[in-house]
Amino acid sequence: MIFITATSFASMTTLAHSEVANPVVKARMAAMSDIGASMKTLGKMVKGEADFDAMAAQAAVDTVAARAEAAPELFEPKETDPESEALPAIWDNWDDFVTKAEALQTTAEGITITAAADLGPAMGQLGDACKACHSKYKE
Ligand code: HEC
């Protein structure tokens, strides 16, 4: 019975991270992927690979804020998976991890993109918040 349930779940979720069996891990990785994709959107505009689009850039920043806000809830269960890059230190330093997620959220919420010149500083600020967490809590 358990086997059948697991199999049908796996066949339902064949989008990104299809190799990740644990649905909790998959959800938190998907949130991080959204954050990464948003940073890529900004990065392309900074490099001139995409035309500056204030609304698209702001939407990307807003996505970062929303996923950062969701991170504490998504990461709270101490789950793992062979594909996960999350370090056990997260759950040993839970309050600090939450503080770092909130820092990213607050940073993103404080960013308003109105001109192409806003992109570089925005990426710098956001990037610092990514690094602060990844350096301690991600492989
Ligand atoms: C509060 C901590 C924290 C912050 C802040 C954070 N991350 Fe992460 N991130 C993680 C952890 C932990 C993982 C590993 C998750 C796993 O594999 O289970 C991760 C994984 C990722 C991944 C890989 C996702 C995948 O598909 O496996 C990307 C991309 C990523 N983060 C991008 C970013 C970017 C860009 C930022 C900043 C804008 C950011 N993260 C901010 C903790 C954080």
**Residue 10 maps to a domain:** no
Q: List the domain range (segments joined by +) for residue 57.
A: 18-137
Structure token pair of residue 19:
């190799």
- Ligand 1 mutation pick, 24, 119, 134, 136, max ligand atoms within 8 A of CB: 134
Adjacent-strand bridge partners of 86: 138
- pLDDT of the residue at 19: 86
**Residue 133 maps to a domain:** yes
CB atoms within 10 A of CB 70: 16
- Ligand 1 center to residue 34 CA distance, Å? 9
pLDDT exceeds cutoff 50 at 81: yes
Rounded mean pLDDT, 96-122: 98
**Residue 1 maps to a domain:** no
**Residue 4 maps to a domain:** no
The domain that holds 109 is classified in CATH as 1.20.120.10
- pLDDT of the residue at 13: 43
- Ligand 1 center to residue 37 CA distance, Å? 11
Q: Annotate 11-25 with DSSP letters as a single string.
A: HH--STTTT---HHH
Adjacent-strand bridge partners of 94: none
* Percent of the chain topping pLDDT 90: 86
- Cα(102)–Cα(99) distance, integer angstroms: 5
Q: Could you tell me the pTM of the whole model?
A: 0.90
The residue to which tokens 């997620």 are assigned? 101
If one counts the domains in the chain, the total is: 1
64 lines ligand 1 (CB under 6 A): yes
Q: What residues contact residue 83 under an 8 Å CB cut-off, 6+ apart?
A: 17, 19, 20, 25, 29
**Residue 26 maps to a domain:** yes
32 lines ligand 1 (CB under 6 A): yes
pLDDT exceeds cutoff 50 at 73: yes
* 2-39 tens-digit pLDDT: 454 444 444 444 445 678 999 999 999 999 999 999 99
Rounded mean pLDDT, 80-84: 94
Rounded mean pLDDT, 27-53: 97
